[in-house]
Structure 1
Amino acid sequence: MTAVVGFIQVMRSPSRNGLSGWRFLAQTLAIAIFAGILLWRLITLQVLEPERYVEHGENQRIRSAELAAERGAIVDRNGIELAVSSPRRSIWADPRLITDAEGTAAAIVAYAGGDADQLIRRLQNEEAKFAWMARQLDDETADGVLALELNGIYATEEQARLTPGGDFMARGILGRTDIDGMGLSGLEKQYDDLLTGEKGRVVIERGLAGGERVTIPNGRFELVTPISGNSIVLTLDRTVQFEVEKLLERHVVDAEAQSGTVIVSKPSTGEILAMATVERTDQGVVQVSGNNRGVTGIVEPGSISKPLAIGALIEEGLVTPHTQVSVADSIEIYDRVFTDSISHDTTNLTTAQVLETSSNVGMALLADRMTNATMHDYLADFGLGQPTALNFPGEADGILHPADEWSGVSLPSAAIGYGFAATPLQMLRAYNVFANDGVLVEPHLVSGVLNPDGDFDILSPNDGTTVVSEQTARTVTSMLAGVVNKGTGQLASVPGYEIAGKTGTARIAQPNGGYRDEDGNVHLLTSFAGYLPASDPQLSIIVVIEDPTGDASGGRLAAPLFGEISNFSLQHFRIPPAAAIGGD
C-alpha cells in the first residue's frame, strides 16, 4: 500500500516540464503490456498448445520419404519374364530454387527430351516445391542431366515397367501400366491388386551444419521396408506366343486382311498356351495389337459352328453320321434363301458328308429335325452367349437371343453359324468339349501366384460340366477328322498326325444391318478351328482372319496357318503321333 501511495505522489509531484510523471506511467504500462504478451505466449507454448509447436519444430528437423515397392513380375509357364519392374532414375526440380527457367528446361530437354514449354511452366510455378522434369531415365541419360549441376535439380529412384520380349510381345494379353505403375489394361489391370506391393517409408532427422542441412548422427531414424508385389505365373508359352505372332502377321499381310486372331490351348485343362491378335493400322502396317480380339471381338462365326449343331442332333438321337438328306444347291425357308458355296446338282449327302463339304443347305435340312428351344439350349450349353471364366478386362459376353425371340429362319441360320455372335475364345471353348469327351472346361491364362517369400498358390480352374456324352463327342471328332482328311480342311493337315477340325467362311454384318457395305461390297471372316491328335487331343487351335482381299475362304486362308502353328507346336512340346481315331 505504501508503494502505491508513493507512486501516486510521484505522479502528482511537479516536474520541470510537467510531463515526466505521465511519461513514466506510459513507459511502465508499455513494459507491463509487453510482459503480459510474453507471459501469455509462454503459457500458450507450454500449457495450451505445446503439441502444435513441438510438431512444428520436428517438421523443421524431421524429413520422411516414400519408398516405392517393386511391382510383381508376370512370367510365362516356364518362368520366363514377360513384364518386370526395374529401378530407373527420374529428374525433379524445386521451382523455388530455379533462377533461369528457360535455360534449365532447355538443358534438360537436350539430354532427356520432352516438351520445353511444359517444363518452363512447371519451373515458373514458384509456389510449388516439387515438379517432374523427366521420368524413368536410363543411367546414361540420368547421369548426363545430373552432370550439368543445375541448381534446384535432383534425382529420385522409381520403378519402371519393362517388357523384356519387346513392346509387342503378348501385348494384348499383358496390357500396360501408367508411368506410376498402375495397371490400365490386360492382365496388368485385372491383377493390379496382386501385382502392386506395399510402399515403404524412411524417416531421418536433419540439422544445420556449416550452413547446410545434414543428417544428425544418432538422430531419429526409422525405416519401413517396402514389400514387393506378387508375381503372376501364366499358362502362356513364350516361344509359342512369339511364333504365333510372327506367323499370324505374315499370313494377314499375304491375305491383305485387316486383322487376324489365333488362340492355342491345352483342351484337357483349358490352359491358354498362346493368344494373339494382329491388326492393320491406318498407315497400312500389320502389327501385334493391344486389343485382345480373342476375347473382346464378337462376330457371327459361320461354318465353324456347324459341329455344335451336329453334336446336338446326334446327342438327341435325331441323326447319325450316316443319315442321308437330299441336298439341292439352294433352299428357300420362309423369306430367306439358303445356298451352298458351290453350285451343284441335287444329291444325297450323309451327315458326315454335309460336314465335310460344309453344305449350308444340308445343315438347314438336318436342323429342321429339332426345335428352336433345343438348338438354343445346346448352343448355351456349349458356352455361347456368355463370357468365359477368364474375367479378362473388356471380355465380351457374346450374343445368343432367347429361343422365344427366334423367327422362322433362326433355326437354320443358327445351324450354319448366323443369328448369334461369339468370341474366338468362346468358339475354342466349345470345340474343346469334343476334345474332352463331351466335357466343357473353362479356359484360363493364370496358373498361379508367386508371393515375395517364394510360396506358390495355384489358381485352380472351375470343374468341368458335361455337355454331350463321350460317345457323341467321339463321333463328332471322327467326322471332323474327315473334314481334314477329305473335305474342306485338307490344307490344315500335318504329316503323321490326324487332325479334327472345321473350316469357316462367314459374311461380316455391317453397320447398316445387312451384309454389304454402302458400296455393295461383302466382307468375309475366314476361320479354322480344331484339335490334335484327333484320338488323344493335346492341342486345340482357332485361327481367324478378318476381311481378307480377293477370293477367300477358311479352307484357303485359315487352314494353312492352322497347319503351320500345329506343326511348330507339336515339335516344341514334343507331342508324338497318336493312333487314328477309332484305331488301336
Structure 2
Amino acid sequence: MPRRGPMRAAPGPTRGRRPARGMPAGGARSRLAIGRVVLIVSLVVAGLKLVQVQGLQADELSSKAAGQRTTVQLLPAERGAITDRNGALLAFSTEARSLYAMPNRIVTEQREVGNDPRAHKEAMARRVAEVLGTRVSESELLGKLLSDQTVVRLAEVVQPAQARTIQEDFPEISDEYREVRRYPGDELAANVLGVANWRADEQKIRGLVGLESVADSLLAGRDGRRIVDTAAGEDTVIPGSERAVRPPVPGTDLELTLDSNLQYVVQQLTEDYARKQGAYSASAVVLDAETGEVRAMANGETFNPNKLAEANPENLGNPSVSTPFEPGSVNKIVTAAAAIEYGVVAPDTVLQVPGRIEIGGTRISDAWPHGVLDMTFTGVLAKSSNVGTLKTAQRIGPDRFMEILDRFGIGEPTGIDLPGESGGRVPPREQWSGSTFANLPIGQGLSMTALQMTGMYQAIANDGVRIPPRVVNAEIAPDGTRTERPRPEGVRVVSPQTARTVRNMLRAVVQDEPGQQGTAPAAALAGYQVAGKTGTGQQVDPACGCYSNSTYWITFAGMLPAQDPRFVIGLVLDDPKGGTSAAPLFHDIAAYIAQHYQIPLPPEPSPVATLTLP
C-alpha cells in the first residue's frame, strides 16, 4: 500500500489577531510573567510565616490563646461553725459580696453609646445607696465613681441578693466573693473564741487569735477549684465550658464544753464586780468537777469580734490561761493536802500558833495581830494563818511538799486546747533556799494561771484525781459525723480519803459562827454546803523588784456542793481598790449555778468546825 502523507488543512483565508491598542504584541506575555513572579514570592513569604507560627512560636501563641479563654476559679470552702455544748451557735460564716467598678471604663462605654458618663454615674451611686441604705453614702459613692482611679471599691460586705439587684440595673458594677465571720453573742466568750477575719491575699477567712487561730486548719476546710472558659477580658463563663472540677470540702464544726447561758452570766458578773472593785483586770473559770471540762471562762475586759476595728488590742488575749500570778493563800491547799496525805496532822490536831515566825532569815506574820493561839489544823486553813501553815509545812518537808505541788500540775501547762497558755513557774528544787520554803507554802515565790488554780481545786473536788481541762468537746465532720475528743488521762494527786478530808476542812472557810468565823462567810450560799479558800498575793513592785505592800492579787477558789462537788469556781482580781475579797463574786456565781443546774439541797447543813480553842 502506498504511504500516505500527512493530512493538510483545507486551504482557506487566514485570520490574524489584532494587537492591543497602544501595546506591542509581546506585552501580554510580559504581564503574565510578572504576575507569576509576584505569586511565587507571596507564597514563599506565607510559607515562611506559617513555619514560624506553627514551629518556632507555636507554644508561645498557644499559651497566650489558652490564657485568654481559660480561667481557674477558686471554689471557697465554708468555714466550720463553733457551738456551745448544747448546740447554740457561737461563731459561723455567711456568704457576701464586695462591689467594685472601673470609672474610666464606664466613661468610655457611655460615650460610645452617646450617653453622658456623669449622669450615668450619678444614677449608679443613687441606686447603690437605695439598695444598701445607711451603710453607704451616695455622695461618697459618686466621688469614687468620678475619680480617675482604675478600680474603686463601692461596698465591702453586701448580701448576694442585694448585689444581684444592683447589677440588674448596672451590670458594669462587678462583685467579688467574700466570706463573713459572724459572732451572734457579740462579746460572749470572745476571749475563748478569738476572732477570724477575711484575708484579701488568700481570698479566705483565717483565724487571728483564740480558738479560731489554734483550730484554723480544722475549721477552714479545703478550697476547691474548677477550670472554665471565659470571653477574653470578661468574667462571664462560657456555658458548658466547666471542667476539671475539684469540689470544696467544708470545714469541721467544733462543739465546745462551754454552756453559753452560764458563760454569759459569769462574764457579766465578773465584769461588773471588777469594775465596782476598781480592779485592773479579773478572771473567772468554772470547771466540771468530774470531767475537768471548762463550762465558763471569762475576763474583766473583753472585746466584740464583730467590731474588731474598735477593739483594744490588749483585750484580745485570754488572761485566764496566759497570765500567771502569785496566788497567795489559795495555794495553802497544797500544804493541807500534803499534811493529810502523809499523816503529818489531822483536821483536829491542835497547833500552837504565834503571831509571827522566822524561817530562813525571813520573818512571816499572820494577817491579823495576835499572841500564841491554840488552833486546830482546820482553823489554820479556815482563818488562813501563815504561821500555822508554815509550821505544818516544816513537818511535811520540802521534798514531799514539792512532790504534791508537781502532782497538782503547777509549773507545767495544762495542755488545754487554747493558744498562749502559760505553765506558771515553780523554782527548781535544787535552787531552793531557806527563804524559798518560807514563801511557797503561803503562795508566794511561785506563779500559776487562773485555770491552773481552778484545776488544783478540781482535783480535791474529784476525790483526788486531777483531770487536765479542755474546752473542745467534739468535732462534727461535714457529713454530720460526730467525734468526741478523748477525755484526758487523770492524774492521782492524793487519795480519795485525803481529798474528802480536805473538802470538809474547806467548808469551815465560809462558816460564820461567833468566835469561829472563817475568812469568807460572804461566799456561803444559804442551804448549800460550800467549800473554798481565799487568797491574797503580794505583787512585785517593778521599781524595786521587791514585794509591794499596796498592790495585791485577790483570789478565791471553791466548789459546790461541798459534800458531792459538781462545779469548781476559780476567781482572780488584779489589784482591786474597793475590797479585799472575791468571796461575794463566788457567791453570786454559785447561786446562779445552783439554780441553773437545779442542784438539790443537802439533807443537812455543814457542821460547825472548831477553829480556835479558848
Assess, with a 3 A threshold, how the Cα gap between structure 1 residues 131 and 444 changes in structure 2: closer, same or farther. Answer: farther
Matched, 1:562 2:586: yes
1:269 partnered with 2:269: no
Select the residue among 525, 529, 542 that pairs with 1:498: 529
Residue 546 (structure 1) aligned with residue 578 (structure 2) = no
Query: Is 1:97 matched with 2:105?
Result: yes
Change (3 A) 1:196 1:218: closer
1:187 corresponds, among 201, 207, 211, to: 211
Alignment pair present for 1:159 and 2:187: no
Q: Deviations over 1:62-116 (max 9, x none)?
A: 3342222210000000000000001122123457736699989999899547998
The aligned counterpart of 1:136 is: 157
- Please report how far the alpha carbon of residue 302 of structure 1 lies from its aligned counterpart in structure 2 after TM superposition: 0.3
In the alignment, which of 227, 232, 248 is matched to residue 270 of structure 2? Answer: 248
Report the counterpart of residue 437 of structure 1 in structure 2.
463
1: CA distance between counterparts of 2:354 and 2:105? 87
Which runs of no fewer than 5 residues in structure 2 stay unpaired?
1-29, 109-116, 200-204, 304-310, 513-517, 608-614
Q: 1:507 pairs with 538, 541, 548, which one?
A: 538
State the partner residue of 1:171. Answer: 190
Q: Structure 1's 562 and 212: CA in aligned 2 closer, same or farther, altered over 3 A?
A: closer
User: What CA distance in whole angstroms lies between the structure 2 residues aligned with 1:388 and 1:114?
Assistant: 54
TM-score w.r.t. structure 1 length?
0.83
- Distance verdict in 2 for CA 1:255–1:113, change over 3 Å: farther
Would you say the 8 A contact 2:444–2:538 is kept in 1?
no
**Which residue number corresponds to residue 413 of structure 2?**
387
In structure 2, the CA distance between the partners of 1:506 and 1:114, relative to structure 1 (3 Å rule), is farther
Give 1:298-337 correspondences, 5 Å limit.
298-337=324-363
Q: 1:278, 1:287 within 8 Å by CA — same for their partners in 2?
A: no
The answer to whether the 8 Å contact 1:330/1:339 transfers is yes
Alignment of 1:419-430 (within 5 A): 419-430=445-456
Q: 2:79 is paired with a residue of what secondary structure?
A: coil
1:203 is displaced (CA, Å) by 3.7
Distance 1:385 1:116 in 2: 56
Letter of the structure 2 residue corresponding to residue 177 of structure 1: A
CA distance in 1, matches of 2:139, 2:214: 33
SS at match of 1:344: coil
1:113-141, Cα deviation, whole Å (9 max, x unpaired): 79989x979x8675xxx775542235798
Cα distance, 1:461–1:116 mapped onto 2, change above 3 Å:
farther
- Indicate whether 1:525 and 2:553 are aligned: yes
Determine helix, strand or coil for the equivalent of 1:522.
strand
Q: Could you tell me how far apart the structure 2 residues matched to 1:61 and 1:312 are?
A: 77
Q: Secondary structure at the match of 2:454?
A: helix
* Counterparts of 1:543 and 1:364, CA distance in 2: 24
Question: Equivalent residues in 2 for 1:119-130 (5 A)?
Answer: none
**For residue 71 of structure 1, what is the aligned residue in structure 2?**
79
Aligned position for 1:13: none
Give, in whole Å, the separation in 1 of the partners of 2:554 and 2:241. 72
Return the offset for 1:462.
1.5
Q: Which has the larger radius of gyration?
A: 2
Aligned to 1:458: 484
1:280 to 1:446, Cα distance in 2 relative to 1, 3 A: closer
**Aligned residues between the structures:** 540
Equivalent residue in structure 1 for 2:88, among 71, 80, 86: 80
Secondary structure, counterpart of 1:515 in structure 2: strand
**8 Å contact kept, 2:528–2:605:** no
| 1:353 shift after superposition | 0.5
Q: How far 1:411 sits from its partner (Å)?
A: 1.1
Aligned with residue 228 of structure 1, among 246, 250, 267:
250
Identity %: 34
Asked if the contact 1:172–1:292 (Cα under 8 Å) also holds between the matched residues in 2, the reply is: yes
The aligned residue for residue 15 of structure 1 is none
Runs ≥4 in structure 1, deviation > 6 angstroms? 27-31, 100-110, 113-117, 285-288
1:190-229 superposed matches below 5 A: 190-207=214-231, 215-220=237-242, 223-229=245-251
* 1:224 to 1:340, Cα distance in 2 relative to 1, 3 A: same
Q: Supply the distance in 1 between the matched residues of 2:54 and 2:573 (Cα, whole angstroms).
A: 80
- Cα separation, 2, equivalents of 1:402 and 1:79: 44
* Residue 393 of structure 1: how far off its partner (Å): 0.9
C-alpha spacing 1:206/1:409, structure 2 compared with 1 (3 Å): closer
1:296 to 307, 322, 330: 322
Match among 358, 370, 379 for residue 344 of structure 1? 370
Output the CA distance in 2 between the equivalents of 1:159 and 1:489: 50
Task: Name the CA shift for 1:116/1:414 in 2 (closer, same or farther; >3 Å).
Answer: farther
Write the distance in 2 (CA, Å) between the matches of 1:424 and 1:213.
Answer: 54
Helix, strand or coil at the partner of 2:175: strand
* Offset at residue 312 of structure 1 (A): 1.1
The answer (yes or no) to whether the contact 1:183–1:189 under 8 Å persists in 2 is: yes
Is the contact between residue 264 and residue 274 of structure 1 (CA under 8 Å) also seen in structure 2? yes
Output the amino acid matched with 1:61: R
User: Structure 1 pair 192/314, CA: closer, same or farther in 2 (3 Å)?
Assistant: same
CA gap 1:157/1:247 in 2 versus in 1, 3 angstroms: same
Q: Note the alpha carbon deviations across 1:216-251, whole angstroms, 9 max, x for none.
A: 444445654322111000000000000111111211
Q: TM-score, normalised by structure 2?
A: 0.79
Paired letter, 2:198: I
Q: Distance in 2 between matches of 1:470 and 1:582?
A: 20
CA separation of 1:286/1:580 partners in 2, compared to 1, >3 Å: closer, same or farther?
farther
Does the aligned pair in 2 maintain the 1:372–1:406 contact within 8 Å? no
1:411 and 1:248 map into 2 onto residues whose CA distance is 33
Listed one character per residue, the Cα deviations across residues 382-425 of structure 1 (whole Å, up to 9, x for unaligned) are 01001012042111111011111011111121110011000010
Structure 1 residue 430 displacement after superposition: 0.9
**Within 2, Cα distance between the matches of 1:391 and 1:213?**
43
1:543 aligned partner, one-letter code? L
Distance in structure 2 (CA, Å) of the matches to 1:116 and 1:395: 45
Distance (Å, rounded) in 1 between the aligned partners of 2:477 and 2:538: 48
- What is aligned with 1:4? none
Instruction: Sort the Cα spacing of 1:31 and 1:305 in 2 relative to 1 into closer, same or farther, 3 A.
Output: farther
Q: Is 2:436–2:445's contact at 8 Å kept on the other side of the alignment?
A: yes
Cα distance per residue 1:475-497 (max 9 Å; x no partner): 10110111122411211111221
Distance of 1:291 and 1:148 partners within structure 2: 46
Find the aligned partners of 1:528 and 1:318 in 2 and give their Cα distance.
26
Cα distance, 1:277–1:144 mapped onto 2, change above 3 Å: farther
**2:444 aligned residue (418, 437, 448):** 418
2:601 equivalent to 1:577? yes
Query: In structure 2, what residue type is equivalent to 1:194?
Result: L
Q: Secondary structure at the match of 1:369?
A: helix
User: Residues of 2 paired with 1:212 and 1:171: CA distance?
Assistant: 42
1:474 aligns with 2:474: no
The residue type equivalent to 1:504 in the other structure is G
- Look up the SS of the partner of 1:368 in the other structure: helix
Q: Corresponding residue for 1:14?
A: none
SS of the residue 1:523 aligns to:
strand
Note the C-alpha offset of 1:525: 1.3
Q: Which amino acid in the other structure matches residue 552 of structure 2?
A: L
Deviations 1:202-222 (Å, cap 9, x if unpaired)?
4433448xx988654444456
